[in-house]
A and B are shown apart, each in its own frame.
Chain A
């Protein structure tokens, strides 16, 4: 009995020590552990594929029982969405092309200049606690650790492990994920216009306010005014007191002179109405919770963030992703007192529960590159 007890103690001690050793090796990024995992993946892949084929009918039966109504509903919703998107796509393609041309003209980085590798999601983590998916492409396609992954809707995560023919992607909802993002806010703008040539309306002002529709697309209301040319706004007729103390009447057109009022026609470029952008850090909080954005500065210039404002990746030298990848929209704004900026909850554009084809941008951030000795 004493011998048995000693053997048992020794076995348990050995198991404990082995576990601690393995955990330590893995946490320190041992190449031995990575190699073992990779080799196991090569051996295990055929077994898994065979089991997938054998169990497919059971899976289909299960999905048929549990998801039939959802699929019908989703199908109906998607048909509506496709009809809606077909019209929008044409306009969007034209806009994107114009934007890319402009960015290229100005020497700014664009997504069009980054190569990518299209992959299919072949599995997700079998654990209840890890938020990862597995892709069927790996280092053979040029994928490296840290590269951003997106689908047609937007950003979904980053590559954390790469093998020759597969890669593991940490989803954007994982608490370990953090990304520098921009919140595109559309603050209310007021434009005052003076209509020249109209004696009754020499001081008429038209206030144009940016409104947000239910589809959260900011639109500017347009007022038709006689003699008013769209795109050209006359500067407000604020009367400047002259040196003699008299004020010059409005309505004269011509270049500004010192001491003269500034009611000359000035074409204000449309860029004045460009939405304001504020940078913050997006952090995942698990699958059951929406990610949040912290470190938004509480600036009056930026205005209060509207629900539905789009969120895009910020880019930059140390960012995990290039700029202007769609991430999602603001779903809730949690205001904080004092100088602390608000915390924004994010509704992701990509549906992480039904990922299929994804695109890995072959862009390895500086922070994810292996350190050179």
Chain B
């Protein structure tokens, strides 16, 4: 029984959920209060994008989905909406990075910047598709710009964290 629990705890997606919970608590507290230029910074999106950068498109998509689902739990928007968008962001982050021959720190930051901006534009579009009114305004571009800049700045430590969280089970043992 205990062994099973240990195996479960060692599973990479369990670690990701725990890291996701930590990031979610930061999102709903400190980053909810600190709003530069009136924009709420999105560390959950940063985590999704970093997962894709760290582990490729497929793992990025699954990790993005899990992180998005955690975020959906505290939002009033339809459940699964952020999961779908974050899965796309995770997938795109891994996919875009495959085109880079020799990745450097700035190419990773650039990729994080791009996919974060895309994610922040996709979110209000998805909200509108599911029936929300008044979210698709020009303010979306300002939000996307600020969030993308912040995520690019923090993409390297976040990627390191994702690398640790979603590393293979064999590497743990």
- Residues of A at under 8 Å CB distance from B? 7-8, 11-12, 15-16, 18-23, 25-27, 33, 36-37, 40-41, 44, 47-48, 50-52, 55, 58-59, 62-63, 123-130, 132, 160-161, 168, 170, 174-176, 284-286, 288
Q: Is the CB of A8 within 8 A of B58?
A: yes
> With A47-B21, A126-B27 known to touch, is A15 a contact of B61 (CB < 8 Å)?
yes
- Name the CB-closest residue of B to A28: B78
Question: Are B26 and A36 in contact, CB atoms less than 8 angstroms apart?
Answer: no
| Interface contact B62-A11, CB-CB below 8 Å | yes
**Could you jot down 19 A-B contacts, CB within 8 Å?**
A11-B58, A18-B65, A19-B81, A19-B83, A27-B130, A37-B79, A47-B25, A48-B24, A51-B26, A55-B29, A59-B29, A59-B33, A123-B28, A123-B32, A126-B75, A128-B120, A128-B143, A129-B135, A132-B76
How distant is A49 from chain B, measured CB to nearest CB, in Å? 9
A8 and B84 contact, Cβ closer than 8 Å, known pairs A127-B77, A132-B76:
no
Which of B33, B73, B79, B135 has most chain A Cβ within 10 Å? B79
Query: CB distance B77 to A130 under 8 Å?
Result: yes
Chain A CB within 10 A, most for which of B21, B28, B61: B28
B-side contacts of A16, CB under 8 Å: 84, 87
Q: Which residues of chain B are within 8 angstroms of A176 by Cβ–Cβ distance?
A: 132-133
Are A52 and B40 in contact (CB-based, < 8 A)? Answer: no
If A21-B80, A59-B30 touch, does A130 touch B25 (CB 8 Å cutoff)?
Answer: no
A127 and B40: CB pair below 8 A?
yes
Whether B87 lies near A15 (C-beta < 8 A) is: yes
Q: A128-B40, A175-B132 are in contact. Are A22 and B79 (CB under 8 A)?
A: yes
Looking at chain B's contact residues, the main secondary structure is: helix
A62-B34, A129-B135, A285-B134 given; A23·B61 CB < 8 A: no
B127 within 8 A of A: yes
Cα-based distance from A132 to B131 in the complex (angstroms): 17
Given contacts A126-B32, A176-B132, 9 further A-B contacts (CB under 8 A): A12-B61, A47-B25, A51-B25, A51-B28, A52-B29, A125-B76, A127-B75, A160-B76, A176-B133
* Chain A CB within 10 A, most for which of B29, B57, B62: B29
Q: How many B residues touch A, CB cutoff 8 Å?
A: 50
B1-51 with Cβ < 8 A to chain A: 21-22, 24-34, 39-40, 42
Residues from chain A with a CB closer than 8 A to the CB of B109 are none
Taking CB atoms, residues of chain B closer than 8 Å to A125 are 75-76
Across the interface, do A19 and B87 meet the contact criterion of CB distance under 8 Å? yes
Cβ–Cβ contact B33 & A62, under 8 A: yes
Q: Hey, which chain B residues are within 8 Å of A40, CB to CB?
A: 73-74
- Interface core residue of B75, B124, B132 (most chain A CB under 10 Å): B75
Query: With A126-B74, A129-B135 known to touch, is A26 a contact of B24 (CB < 8 Å)?
Result: no
Query: Nearest chain-A residue to B57 (Cβ)?
Result: A8
